[in-house]
Each structure stands twice: as structure tokens, then as C-alpha cells.
Structure 1
Amino acid sequence: MAVRARTRRSARVEARQGTLNDAGIVRVAVAVLQRTDGRVLLAQRLPGTPYPGYWEFPGGKLEAGESASIALARELDEELGIQIVRAAPWLVQRYAYPHADVELNFFRIFAWRGEPRGRMGQAIAWQAPGAFDVAPLLPANAVILRALELPPIYGISMAEDLGEDVFLRRAQVAI
């Protein structure tokens, strides 16, 4: 799997090995597969699991000795029958469920080989961010739903500190 745009933080997170970290938190790798039309893939949790019938982004627990990126590649092959071509670590979210505390390592998946299908019998659905028509969603996904609605790039400026004219001149030179 090719993982692009690694940050120091994501490298540190991946350096910790195993399903549980030192604090007893369950480590999970999660994929946000996004098609060129912007839709993202959700999978429905199976009976016999916590929150059966809830919808979530695909992924799963890290096994002993696995990094988050390796676990993600394994889980997507097992659950969806796809291989990651281009991905990037995105967000890390901790969430306290009644049954477990989890650390969710979210990856943006931009390209993959194969057509996703529910290999374990789970339903899957491509959904438009901000307009999901499946429910209910796992509570820990709320941060990702908000993040998907943000623009991919936005600027932060010092226009107020510099003055508008100076800022615009500097921006023009930089562009």
C-alpha cells in the first residue's frame, strides 16, 4: 500500500504496535474511501457485533505487531476485496463507547484496485457527504462527517495584521 503525506504525528501513531495501546485503548484503522464524484463508502455492522445494523466507515482492529496502514490494507482486502493504491493518514479520533475505549486512525483512500463488495455479508452504500440516506451511524464517526464537509484547501492569512494592501501585494508575488 502506498501511503502518501505522512506527518510526524501519523508516524508516531503507527510506531505503536498492537491492538491495545498502553492505556488499554483498542486501536482501529478506518478507511474513508472517496470516489471522484465525492461519495464515500459506508458499511453496515453485522449481527453479533457491538452496534449491529449501524453504519460505519470500513476498517478494523489492529492485530499484534501491525501498524495502522498495514491493518487497514488487510481489513479492506478481507472485508471489501480491494487493494489500496493511494492513501493518506488523515485524523486520529479517540472515542469512549460503553464497551470499549477506541483510537480510530482514519485514512483518506483516494485510489484502489477492485470493486468494493461486502465479502462478509455486510451491506455497503456509497453516500454523498452531508446527505447520507442510511442510518443510524456509529457515534464515533461524527468528527469525520464534519471533516468531510470542510473544503479540501482553505487559506489562513495575516491580512488583518499586515493591512489589506500589503497582504494582497505579498499574495500576488507568491502566486
Structure 2
Amino acid sequence: MTRADRPDPGDLDLTKQVCFALYAASRALTAVYRPVLERLGLTYPQYLVMLVLWERGQTSVKALGESLQLDSGTLSPLLKRLEAAGLVDRARDPRDERSVVVSLTAAGDGLRDQATGIPRAIAEATGVPASELTYLRDTLRKITEAATAAPDKETT
């Protein structure tokens, strides 16, 4: 093994890890969302559910889970809490009794108006120009797609 082929011990520095940068950024950004969403009575995961419903309207639980990349074990309690808060309704799809559809209530739809300024407020809170945030979002999507498609194998 030549010197160039040897792993660099510095590669294990925490500050060089993409995974840690993503983790820390995610936690920090979620913390910025928290007080804004509390005024709406939503948690961050509930906000994500509402975003999909505001965009698409009535949606199956399966499609909602696919959009949010959440399994039913995580999604079901979110939906149950949103339903208890009077923001969504869940019902069996009359065309397919095996499927459950989620729809906004009038209160859930009305919450959209209160939420319209959230993306801009969060972007402004970061102090990062919109063009950089757009580039970051697109890059993160590419990383997510590549990581999702990557075969399960050990690295050497």
C-alpha cells in the first residue's frame, strides 16, 4: 500500500463530516421553526404534513408517507394528533377500503393563511441569501436521491 492509498486519520475529524454538518444544521433550523410553529399549534413534523395537504388537498396516507419519507408507524401518531386538534380528517377511501385518505378540515385549511409567511421568515432568520438556500436545497435533494439509491454495501 502506497502512502497515497492509506487512509488519512484526519478524515475522521468531526468538522469534516458531511453527516454531522447536516445533522447540526437540521437541529438548528428546526429550533428556529419551533417558536414560529408554536403560534400555530404545530410541531415541525406536523407542519410538514400540513404543507403536503395544503399543496395537494385530500391525499392517501400511503402517498403522504411517500412524500414525507415517513413510515406509517411515524405518520399515524402525527395524523392522530392533527385530527384531535381539528385540522385534518381521516376516512376510508370509498373506492378502496384498504386505503385511508386524509383531508383538511376548514380549520386546517384556514391555518394556511397564517402559515404563508413562515418560509420567508425562516429564510431571513438564517441570513443566507435566497440563491444560496435554493442551491443548498437542490444539492440536498441530490444527496438524498443518491443515498436512497445507493446499494447496501460496506465501504472499505
TM-score (norm 2): 0.23
Considering only CA atoms, is the larger Rg found in Structure 1 or Structure 2? 2
Query: If each structure's helix is expressed as a fraction of its own residues, which one has the higher value?
Result: 2
Higher strand share: 1
